[in-house]
């Protein structure tokens, strides 16, 4: 999986089709779920920084991706269901 700058970034700026409201935004969110679920690579904090600052995710998008990546574990933990 490659969430690097090539393809989705233009001069360190997210291409409009991948930005919030863009035609291909869901592709970025789906790839972010895979990245967040991966146990390899950068730390979870670095992954969050990348999603928020480079992919332009808001808090809701990031938390939804993180919850999906953890198979609902984020919400279960927050609600004390585990």
- Tell me: the pLDDT tens digits for 39-77? 888 999 999 999 999 999 999 999 999 999 998 877 777
Q: Taking the CB of residue 80, how many other CB atoms lie within 10 A of it?
A: 6
Task: Enumerate the β-bridge partners of residue 13.
Answer: 10
C-alpha neighbours within 13 Å on the C-beta side of residue 8:
22
Tokens of 59: 């808090």
Q: In the predicted model, is pLDDT for residue 6 greater than 70?
A: no
Q: Taking the CB of residue 14, how many other CB atoms lie within 10 A of it?
A: 18
Tell me if the pTM is above 0.85. no
CA atoms of 3 and 1, how far apart (whole Å): 7
Average pLDDT, the chain: 84
């Amino acid at each position: 999986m490659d969430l690097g700058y090539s393809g989705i970034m233009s001069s360190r700026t997210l291409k409009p089709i991948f930005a919030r409201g863009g035609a291909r935004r869901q592709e970025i969110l789906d790839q972010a779920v895979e990245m967040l679920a991966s146990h390899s690579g950068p730390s979870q904090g670095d992954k969050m920084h990348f999603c928020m600052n480079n992919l332009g995710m808001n808090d809701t998008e990031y938390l939804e991706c993180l919850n999906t990546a953890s198979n609902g574990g984020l919400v279960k933990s927050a609600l004390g269901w585990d």
